[in-house]
Structure 1
Amino acid sequence: MNPETCTCKTPLQEAYFVLDNAKYHYVNFIYNFMHKCLDMTKLHFVEGDTDSAYWAVSGSADAGHQQQFNYVIKDKQFYDDNAKYYFPTIEGDFLDEKKILGLAIENEGTEMIALAPKNYYIKVGEKEKIKLKGVNQKTTKISKQNIVDNINSGTITKAVNMRLGQKNYIMSKIATQKNGITG
């Protein structure tokens, strides 16, 4: 590998367009929908990526964790008139859920800790879901406590990823150690 050159099959214009387009739709949804019809004092942005955003919603404690935005709507008429442009409809078919430039609810839980985009812990009902990009969680057991320890004291959790590799026509199992959680 020559350190002075690199190749990329995706044109830079395409990569910048995807990122700029995602930013535009984020900002459009937040300022032209959320700020107009939702009580933003009851919403907190937790983490986001190019194609996803996680929000903490402070609704009604009695309604459970699957209340969506129902208890933070401040302008019901505006919400009812415009929600169809962003959210899946009541029919909820697959084409509607995967609506281009639309929203779909991926997880609803009672607790979330986010370290970075695609690195988070969420409690969904009685189940705990941990997502760590680039870490094979079948070979490395990571718990909520590992994430909390990283936030509180900077504890680094190591992870081992196993993969198959071929060299000189011989398949080998390769173990790669990496930092699973860092501060």
Structure 2
Amino acid sequence: MDDQKLGEDVYAVQMNPETCACKTPLQVAYFVLDNAKYWYLNFIYNFMHKCFDMDKLHFVEGDTDSAYWAVSGDENAGIKQQFKYVIKNQQFYNENAMYFFPTIEGDLLDEKKILGLAVEREGPEMVALASKNYYMKVEDKEKIKLKGVNQNTNKITKDQIMDNITNGTITKCTNMRLGQKNYQMSKLATEKNGITGIHTKMVVLSDQSCCPYIYGLKASDYKVQ
């Protein structure tokens, strides 16, 4: 259910359908999910490691179909340089880059080719606590991604993210929504940890590396060498 505040006591409410129809075979869903991981790693190990100087690249964060990299290239070339100045095997890059990167400028079909890659965002600065939990500066704008937190009602800043990294400070957020029970509409508030050094899938250590979340283990139980 989605809602939008129109006035002090007036809300527009859109109800989601109670049922939906999905004709996609379950096998297709598993195939896509499994192959997404395969091609993700295929690009990193069979392309990036072979033609890029990986000492000049740092994996910041990623998800099923996206990856954000910090590139230490030419500081005078601007933020649009991509991987140009970290190529160590130019011949391998020239022979294989066409299978991954767009090669025809302005051609949408080439940019969206199957198993291909396209640039989502570029910027001079990025800080990530975990997947779907990051700050990024894009030109003169700031992009903050914080899954599960309504940023329309919670003001999140870069300083809060940095404070969590340096001091372990947890920022609590409150999500507001409307709920209906017995034909009575109520305004509900849910408080959660918005910025924290731990989430349900990974434990983030002091050096920002991520370890598996195992019940009963805390970040202090892991050793960083």
TM-score grouping bracket, smaller chain normalisation: 0.7 to 0.9
C-alpha RMSD of the superposition: 2.1
Letter aligned with residue 114 of structure 2: I
Letter aligned with residue 171 of structure 2: T
1:121 maps to 135
1:162 maps to 176
Q: Which has the larger radius of gyration?
A: 2
Partners in 2 of 1:12 and 1:119 — Cα distance? 29
C-alpha distance 95-167 of structure 1, shift in aligned 2 (>3 A): farther
C-alpha distance 96-173 of structure 1, shift in aligned 2 (>3 A): farther
Give the TM-score normalised by the residue count of structure 2: 0.71
Counterpart of 1:61 in 2: which secondary structure?
coil
Letter aligned with residue 44 of structure 1: H
Give the TM-score normalised by the residue count of structure 1: 0.86
Q: Is the CA contact 2:104–2:110 (under 8 Å) kept in the aligned structure 1?
A: no
Partners in 1 of 2:66 and 2:107 — Cα distance? 20
Spell out the pairing of 1:59-138 with structure 2 (5 A cutoff). Answer: 59-138=73-152
Q: 1:46 aligns with which of 60, 73, 78?
A: 60
Percent of aligned positions with the same letter in both sequences? 77
Partners in 1 of 2:28 and 2:174 — Cα distance? 34
Segments of 5+ residues of structure 1 without an aligned counterpart are: 1-8
Segments of 5+ residues of structure 2 without an aligned counterpart are: 1-21, 198-225
Q: Per residue, is there more helix in 1 or in 2?
A: 1
Give the C-alpha shift of residue 112 in structure 1.
1.0
Partners in 2 of 1:96 and 1:169 — Cα distance? 52
Spell out the pairing of 1:143-154 with structure 2 (5 A cutoff). Answer: 143-154=157-168
Higher relative contact order by CA 8 Å / sep ≥ 6: 1 or 2?
1
